[in-house]
Amino acid sequence: MVEVIVFAIFALAALAGGLVMVSARSPVYSAMGLLLAMFSMAVFYVMNGAHFVAAVQVLIYAGAVMTLFLFVIMLIGVDRAVDRTETIPYQRPIVYVLGAGLVALIGIAVLDVAAAFDGSLQVAWTTGRPSGNCTLDCVGTIENISGELFTGWLLPFEATVLLLTIAAVGTVALGQFALKPRDEAPEGVE
């Protein structure tokens, strides 16, 4: 019962964070909403026995990525007026319809459709074992995760190392190109 209450609290927090992120006018409020959603996710990871993923979530996402976001927000200015003119006609109604359709589609996928036709509508996965009741070898401790990561997933792991190196080099290169002053461009060329 405690699990249900914790789930309800942090599910509401995650949904509120997501809605704040989408609807806030200031990007700083958007970042704060996303931060709330990410911390709620970390709680869900712990409830599912994924302790290492939860720690990485807090350290990398809530720590590094959101700090980077806030840094860029501060860098490019937050007090700029938002231009609310619509360039695409009917953008908002179309988005609302598409969003509702997406929720309905995934809802149909989560609900067991085949069972619905039998008259016994049930949510998929509710018959599975309750989350968090993992046996010792499938709890996401550092030991279990690293044992799996460095044996069966070694090549993908090394590929991510390559990816991160390329990303770092690309970021530095982008910064170098952007540092060129604007008036060095020839006349008439933007």
- Residues in 128-187 at the binding interface with another protein, rule: CB under 8 A: 128-135, 138, 140, 144-145, 148-149, 153, 156, 160, 163-164, 166-168, 170-171, 174-175, 177-178, 182
Residues near 69 by beta carbon (within 8 Å), at least 6 away in sequence: 31, 34
The pair of structure tokens assigned to 90 is 């009917």
- How many whole angstroms from its chain centre is CA 46? 16
Torsion angle of C-alpha atoms 23, 39, 57, 70, degrees rounded to 10: 50
Phi, psi of 83 (to 5 degrees): -80, 115
Q: Is 18 in the site for another protein (CB under 8 A)?
A: yes
Told to check if 62 binds another protein by CB under 8 A, we report no
Query: Which C-beta is closer to another protein: that of 68 or that of 113?
Result: 68
Contacts with another protein by CB under 8 A: the residue count is: 92
Nearest to 36 by CA among 6, 68, 13: 13
CB of 121 to another protein, least distance (A): 7
Minimum distance, C-beta of residue 89 to another protein, in the bound complex (Å): 13
Residue 116 makes contact with another protein by CB under 8 A: no
Closest CB 75 distance from another protein, rounded Å: 7
Residues 6 or more apart whose CB falls under 8 angstroms from that of 157 comprise: 149, 150
Task: Select the residue interacting with another protein from 9, 72, 74, 142 (CB under 8 A).
Answer: 72
Interface characters, 91-110, with another protein (x: CB under 8 A): xx-xxx-xx--xx--xx-xx
| 89 is a contact residue toward another protein (CB under 8 A) | no
Long-range CB contacts (< 8 A, 24+ apart) of 7-14? 7/44, 7/47, 10/40, 10/43, 10/44, 11/40, 13/37, 13/39, 13/40, 14/40, 14/41, 14/44
114 binding another protein? (CB under 8 A): no
